[in-house]
Amino acid sequence: MFNALIVDKDTEGKSIASIQKIDESRLPEGDVTVAVAHSTVNYKDGLCLSPNGGGLVRAWPHVPGIDFAGTVETSKDPRYKPGDEVVLTGWRVGEVHWGGYAQKARVKADWLVPLPKGLTTRQAMAVGTAGFTSMLAVMALEDHGLKPGTGPVLVTGAAGGVGSVAVALLSALGHEVAAVTGRPDQADYLKRLGATQIVAREELNETVKRPLETESWAGCIDAVGGAMLARILGQMKYGASVASVGLAGGASLPATVIPFLLRGVNLLGIDSVMQPFENRLRAWERIAHDLPLAKLEAMIQPATLADLPGLGSAILQGGVKGRVVVDVNA
């Protein structure tokens, strides 16, 4: 028997979350059974914990948790053996498939990545989907020509999970970082992560009539979308790129094509869910090499399974700073 956070529906159809002791026979089919050590809380986890599963959960009862790290207990796949430490992000685990908010998980071997050398399971979950997405965004910007010394890189939603890791990564790679936040009390936190400039959200969260403004940013990692992204596109330097990683500010994009046509601006979509294995390995190896672990440590907010319903609600309201690391055995 092991503990799992089970989300189910009550007699009125409302979702309720509770920690239950369950048997391994309830785990879904899969090649590899993992003793989970740590998980985390992403925006998507907040949706899955919300009423009706945020439109993401397909079947009930359900175990959320889109990320986990732990140790292989049993494996039918030759790539993994008992004792191997592994990480999982994406593949709709925690949404369609049972996830990491439990002390055990059973998944397809194709969904796993070996834990990178130099990282603990705790550190890997401080990274999680949010940090993995940040690394993919940095790599995409680099692939499209971003180099240190070409000007500041803008990070929106900078105090959140994706933003915090993005600020630390970009700073460590030698970039000036302009961090956008709607929480003035987070300025010192962002500067400790490496931000050289704090931009108030109010300066960017409304569109203007002019499709082009002063060329300000050499690159951007945007977790907000909506009107803010539309505004930022008109402020990018010639040939610069924006990596779009989220939609906390809405899915609509009230923009014109003028920045693309007159300044050669690139809008890059970043998907972390279905990334092929080779890209995942490359990103995790870069994380282990490039992300300052002391700064990663400064982002961590520890939690237990019992804390998750409250944290799920808080992250949807923008009330979670940095990265939550869930010790599922605490």
CATH number at residue 221: 3.40.50.720
Single out the residue in 223, 253, 269 at which a domain terminates.
Answer: 269
- What are the structure tokens assigned to 287, written together? 């994380």
320 shares a domain with 264: no
Task: Give burial (CB, 10 Å; 0-12/13-18/19+) of 292.
Answer: middle
Q: DSSP letter for 102, please.
A: B
Q: Is residue 46 within 8 Å of 312, Cβ to Cβ?
A: yes
- Contact between 322 and 296 (Cβ < 8 Å): no
Residue ranges of the chain whose pLDDT lies below 70: none
Q: Same domain for 30 and 94?
A: yes
**Residue 222 maps to a domain:** yes
Q: What confidence score (pLDDT) does residue 67 get?
A: 98
Query: Are 87 and 140 found together in one domain?
Result: no
Q: Are residues 67 and 99 in the same domain?
A: yes
CB atoms within 10 A of CB 263: 19
Alpha carbon of residue 168 to chain centroid: 14
Helix (H, G, I), strand (E, B) or coil at 45: helix
Shared domain check, 185 and 104 = no
**Phi/psi-derived region of residue 93, left when phi > 0, alpha when psi is between -120 and 50, beta in every other case:** beta
**Closest by Cα among 217, 204, 269, 262 to 243:** 269
Q: Give this prediction's pTM.
A: 0.94
Domain-embedded: residue 258 = yes
Beta bridge partners, 61, equal: none
Please tell me whether residues 151 and 102 are part of one structural domain: no
Q: Given CA atoms 75, 81, 82, 88 in this order, what sign does their dihedral have?
A: negative
In the chain, how many domains are there? 2
Rounded CA-CA distance 118/104 in Å is 24
CA 13/CA 35 separation, integer angstroms: 32
Do both 11 and 75 map to the same domain? Answer: yes
Q: With respect to residue 38, please indicate whether it lies within any of the assigned structural domains.
A: yes
Q: Which residues of 195-223 are buried (b: 16+ CB within 10 A; e: fewer)?
A: beebbebeebbebeeebbeeebbbbbbbb
Predicted pLDDT of residue 257: 97
105-145 pLDDT, tens digit each: 999 999 999 999 999 999 999 999 999 999 999 999 999 99
pLDDT at 283: 97
**Residue that has been written with the tokens 């979350």 in this structure:** 17
CATH code at position 104 = 3.90.180.10
* pLDDT score recorded for residue 13: 80
**Are residues 180 and 211 in contact, defined by beta-carbon separation less than 8 angstroms?**
no
Length of the chain (residues) = 330
Q: Residue 144: which domain range?
A: 128-269
